[in-house]
Chain A
Amino acid sequence: MNRRSFVLPALMVALFLVPQLYVPQLFAFDFGLDLANDSALTAETDISLSQVNRARAWLNVPFGKDADLMLSGFYEFKGTLEFDSVSGTSSPLRLDLDRAEFTGSTQGVLGPSAILRYSVGRFSLSDFSSKVLSGLSDGARVDLVLGNLAWYASAGYRGLLYKGDARSAIDTDDTDVDNDDKAYFSPSRAFLGGGARLTELLPGQDVGIEVWAQLDLDPSGTSTHTAYLEPFIEGRLGRSVRWRAFGIGELGMGDSTFTAMAAGGLFRLSIPEVRNLRFTQSVAWASGKIGGLEAFTPIRQLPVGSASTFTFTDIVFVSLDASLSVLPGVSGSAGGGAIFRASDNQPSGTALRADADTSYLGAELNARASVRLSSDLSAGVSAGLFIPETGSAYPKKTPPRFTASLTATFTL
C-alpha cells in the first residue's frame, strides 16, 4: 500500500462529514451497515480455501427531490489457505471507498422537455456490452434525453482504484503492478466515453453507438493509449424474447499502432408464468493475434465463465443458461458453455501443450442458488467446473478446475 492509500480513508471521513454541514437542507437521510462473508473453495492441482469478510457502511443523503449523495466504504479481510502445502496467506485489513456518488437531474436545459441527468464521484460505469469498461470508476457522467435519442458522455480516472477492482491488463505496466505486492492502486489511466442511443427506432428495437478512449497517464514504462468504437442493437421479439448484439473495434497506440476487435450477441427467452423461467443463449468473441488483428485489450478485463481462468481476450465463449425462481425469495440457475481460442496463440491464464492444434479449450458447467431469508439476510451458493480439452489442447493429466463459494450477507 503506498502513500496514496491514506488519502482514501481521509476522503471517506470527509465525505461522511460533509453532509452534516447541510443538515438543515436535508429531507432525510438513510444509512446502514452490511456484513458479508464469502467463502470459496478452488480445486485444481491444489486445493485452496479463501475467505473474504467485508463490513460495508453506507449513507444516502437526498438533496431536494432531484439530487442525492450515496456514500459507502468498507473494511475487508481476506485470507487464503492452501491445503496441499498447509500454508496460509492473508491480506491486511483493507479500507476503501466503495461508492461516493452525487447524482441528480434537471429539466429544461436544452428545451422545455429535455432532462439532463448527472453523476459525479465514484460510481459504477460501463459501456453497452460491459466488455470495454465496467465496475467502479472515479469521474463524471451526464445523460441527456431528447425524445427518443439519449446522449451520454463520461470521463474519469482509474488510478485511484484498487488494482484488483480495476482489472487493468493493457500493457506490461499493468502486469508489473499486478505482480508488485506493495502496489495497491491500478496504473494511472484516464478514460473518456460517449454515445447515443435511439430508442425503438424500429418497433421494439434500440440502436446506438459508443466511443471510448483510454489515455495512459503514467510517464514511466510503456505508454499505451486505446480507443474503442462500439455499435450495438438491442430489442425484443414478441413478449418473450429479448436479444442484443454488439461489435467493438479497437485502435491501440503503444510502441506501434494496432487494431483489435470483439463482438457478441445474446438471446433470452422469458416465461414469467413458469416461475420466471429464463433461458439465455450468448456468444462472445474477442480477437487474438491473427489476420492483422491483435489481442483485444479492454479498459477493464472481465473473466470469461465462472470456473475457468480465461479473460475476454483471444477467446470465443458460447453459453446457455437457465434460471428460475423456485419459491418466493429463492432462485437458482444452471448452465454451461464451450470455450475456444480465437487464434493459435496461448490463451490467457493457462498453458496449452506445445503441439496443441485445436481451438476448442474446454467446457464449463455452473450452477448457483440464492435465497433471501429475510429482508436483512440473504445467502448464495455457487459452483463451477471447467473441464479442459486434453485430447489435443491441454496436457493429458490436466485436472478439471472446480470452484465453489458460499456467500452470506447481513444488513443492519
Chain B
Amino acid sequence: MRKIIVIAMFAGVSLLSVMAQEASFSEVNGKVEYQTGSDTWKPARPGDKVGKGVVISTGFKSTAVLMIGKSSISIKPLTRMTLEDIVKTEGGTQSQLFLLAGRVKADIPPQPGQTTEFKVKSPTATASVRGTGFEFDGVNLIVEHGTVQLMTATGQTRMVGAGEFSYVARGGVVAPPSAVVVASGLDSVVELVVQSVAESLSTVTVVTPPPVQQTSVVTIGIQ
C-alpha cells in the first residue's frame, strides 16, 4: 500500500511539473490571422498570446514571428500551421507545430541547464530541433547555426552543420550537405540545389533529380 502511495505521489509531482505554456506574437507584418477552436479568424497583433490548438495563417507578403519562451519561429508568407503542443517541464520546454503549407524558420537558442525541444510536423515531414537555427520546408533544409540531424522515413540520416544545405532527393535519399551562403535562406532553393550538385564530388555530369515533395516523412533532430 505504501508503495502505491509513493508511486502516486511521484506521478502527481510529474503532472504538476508539466504546465501549459503560451506563445506570443512579437512581430506581425501584413495579413496574419489565427483561429482558436471553432472560433472565427482573428487578426494577429504583436503581443497577442496563443495557446495549444490555435491555427495560424499568413497571407501573401505577410509574415509573423512567434515567440515560445526564448525560441522564435518566423512564419513565412502563405503559411498555415497549427500550434499542436506547448508544454513547460522542469527540464525545459517542448513545442510542436503542424505545418500544413508554407515555410518556417526556427531559432532555438540553447538554454543552460534546460532542454528546448521543438518539432515541426507537416504532411511530408517532421522536424525536431534543440539548440539550433534552421529553415525547413519539408524537403530542403538550411542550417544557420548548430548541427541538425536530417532523417527520412527510410531512416537514412545525415548531419547538417552550420552554413550547410541539404535536401531529400527522389527515392528518399538525403543529399550530402554542401557549404552554402545561408543569408538568403531557402528563398532561392533552386540555386542552392544547383550549387549542391556542383559541389558534389562526382567527376561526371549526372542528371540529378530536383528536390520534390516526398510522401515519406523527414525528421530533423539536433545532435
CB contact between B216 and one of A113, A200, A203 (< 8 Å): that residue: A113
Q: List chain B residues, Cβ under 8 A from A129.
A: 203
- Complex interface bits, A67-111 against B, C-beta within 8 A gives 1, otherwise 0: 000000000000000000000000000000000000101010000
Instruction: Give Cα distance in the complex from A107 to B180, angstroms.
Output: 31
Q: Give the residues from 135 to 190 in chain A that come closer than 8 angstroms, CB to CB, to chain B.
A: 135, 143, 145-148, 150
The docked-state distance in angstroms from the alpha carbon of A129 to that of B202 is 7
Binds A, one of B82-90, B92-100, B152-160: B152-160
Do B172 and A115 touch (CB < 8 A)? yes
Report yes or no: B155 in contact with A270, Cβ–Cβ below 8 A: no
Q: Contact mask B202-223 → A, CB, 8 Å, 1/0? A: 1110110000000110000000
Majority DSSP secondary structure for residues of A touching B: strand
List CB contacts (< 8 Å) of A120-146 with chain B: 123-124, 126, 129-130, 134-135, 143, 145-146
Assembled-state Cα–Cα distance A273/B192 (Å) = 13
Q: Inside 8 A of A244's CB, which chain B residues have their CB?
A: 201
- Judged by a CB distance under 8 angstroms, whether A204 is at the interface is yes
Among candidates A135, A145, A270, A273, residue contacting B199 with C-beta atoms closer than 8 Å: A270
Cβ 8 A contact of B201, one of A115, A145, A234? A234
Q: Is the CB of A148 within 8 A of B155?
A: yes
Q: How large is the interface on A (under 10, 10 to 19, 20 to 34, 35 or more residues)?
A: 35 or more
User: Least Cβ distance of B199 to chain A in Å?
Assistant: 6
Contact B162 A107 (CB under 8 A): no
Selected from B162, B174, B179, the residue in CB contact (under 8 A) with A270 is B179
Q: Does residue B163 face the partner (Cβ distance < 8 Å to A)?
A: yes
| CB of A146 to closest CB in B, whole Å | 6
Cβ < 8 Å to B, chain A residues 235-282: 236, 238-240, 242-244, 266, 268, 270-273, 276, 278, 282
- Contact residues, A190-245 vs B (CB, 8 A): 199-200, 203-204, 206, 234, 236, 238-240, 242-244
How far is B164's CA from A242's CA once the two chains are assembled, in angstroms? 12
**Chain A nearest Cβ from B106, distance in angstroms:** 20
In the complex formed, the residue of B with least CB distance to A282 is B203
A150 to B174 CA separation, bound complex (whole angstroms): 11
**Among B159, B180, B204, residue most surrounded by chain A Cβ atoms (within 10 Å):** B204
A57 at the interface (CB under 8 A from B): no
A114 beta carbon closer than 8 Å to chain B: yes
From A65, A115, A273, residue with most partner B Cβ within 10 Å:
A115
Report which residue of B155, B178, B195, B206 has the largest number of chain A beta carbons within 10 angstroms of its beta carbon.
Answer: B155
User: What residues on B are CB-neighbors of A143 within 8 Å?
Assistant: 171, 173
**A289 at the B interface (CB under 8 A):** no
A117 interfacial by beta-carbon distance below 8 Å: yes
- What residues make up the interface of A, taking CB atoms closer than 8 Å to B? 65-66, 103, 105, 107, 113-115, 117, 123-124, 126, 129-130, 134-135, 143, 145-148, 150, 199-200, 203-204, 206, 234, 236, 238-240, 242-244, 266, 268, 270-273, 276, 278, 282, 302
Q: Which of A124, A148, A236, A243 contacts B156 (CB 8 A)?
A: A148
Q: How far is the CB of A74 from chain B (nearest CB, A)?
A: 16
Contact check, B173 vs A239: say whether CB atoms are below 8 A apart: no
> A residues within 8 A CB of B173?
143, 145, 150
Q: Other than A107-B216, A239-B164, A242-B201, give 8 A-B pairs with Cβ distance below 8 A.
A: A105-B170, A145-B172, A147-B156, A203-B159, A234-B176, A234-B201, A239-B163, A271-B179
Residue B177 at the chain A interface, CB threshold 8 Å? yes
B164 to A204, Cβ gap below 8 A? no
**Residue contacts A-B, CB under 8 angstroms, 6 given:** A145-B171, A236-B177, A270-B199, A272-B179, A273-B181, A278-B199
Contacts of A124 in B (CB 8 A): 206-207
- Chain B residues near A240 (CB, 8 Å)? 179
Q: Which of B159, B172, B174, B204 contacts A126 (CB 8 A)?
A: B204
Q: Is the CB of B201 within 8 A of A272?
A: no
B131 within 8 Å of A by Cβ? Answer: no
Partner pick for B154 among A146, A238, A242, CB 8 A cutoff: A146
Report the minimal beta-carbon distance from A72 to chain B, rounded to whole angstroms: 11
Find chain A residues with CB under 8 A from B159 CB.
200, 203-204
Q: Is the CB of B199 within 8 A of A134?
A: no
With A244-B201, A272-B180 as given contacts, are A239 and B162 in contact (CB-CB < 8 Å)?
Answer: yes
Which range contains the number of B residues in contact with the other chain?
Answer: 20 to 34
State in angstroms the CA–CA spacing of A206 and B158 once bound together: 10
Closest chain-A Cβ to B70's Cβ sits at a distance in Å of 26
Which residues of A have CB within 8 Å of B161? 238-239
> Which residues of chain A are within 8 angstroms of B198 by Cβ–Cβ distance?
276
Contact (A115, B157) CB under 8 Å given A242-B199, A270-B179, A276-B195: no
Let me know if B158 and A199 touch, CB within 8 A. Answer: yes
Known: A150-B156, A239-B163, A272-B180. A105 touches B201 (CB 8 A): no
**Alpha-carbon distance A310/B105, docked complex (angstroms):** 51
Report how far A329 CA is from B206 CA in the complex, Å: 20
Name the B residues within 8 Å of A242 (CB-CB).
Answer: 176, 199, 201
Of the residues B171, B206, B207, contact of A115 by C-beta under 8 Å: B171
Which residue of chain A has its CB nearest to the CB of B215? A107
Measured in the bound complex, the distance between the Cα atoms of B199 and A240 in whole Å is 10
Q: Which residue on chain B has the smallest CB distance to residue A206?
A: B176
Contacts of B155 in A (CB 8 A): 113, 146-148
Distance, CA A234 to CA B202, complexed state (A): 11
What's the Cα separation between A143 and B157 when bound, in Å?
A: 17
Q: How far is the CA of A202 from the CA of B161 in the complex (A)?
A: 15
Q: How far is the CA of A266 from the CA of B202 in the complex (A)?
A: 10
Nearest Cβ on chain A to B124's Cβ, whole angstroms: 12
B156 touches A145 (CB 8 A): yes
User: A134: nearest residue on chain B (CB-CB)?
Assistant: B204
Give CA–CA (A105, B153) in the complex, Å. 14
CB distance from A107 to the nearest CB of B (A): 6
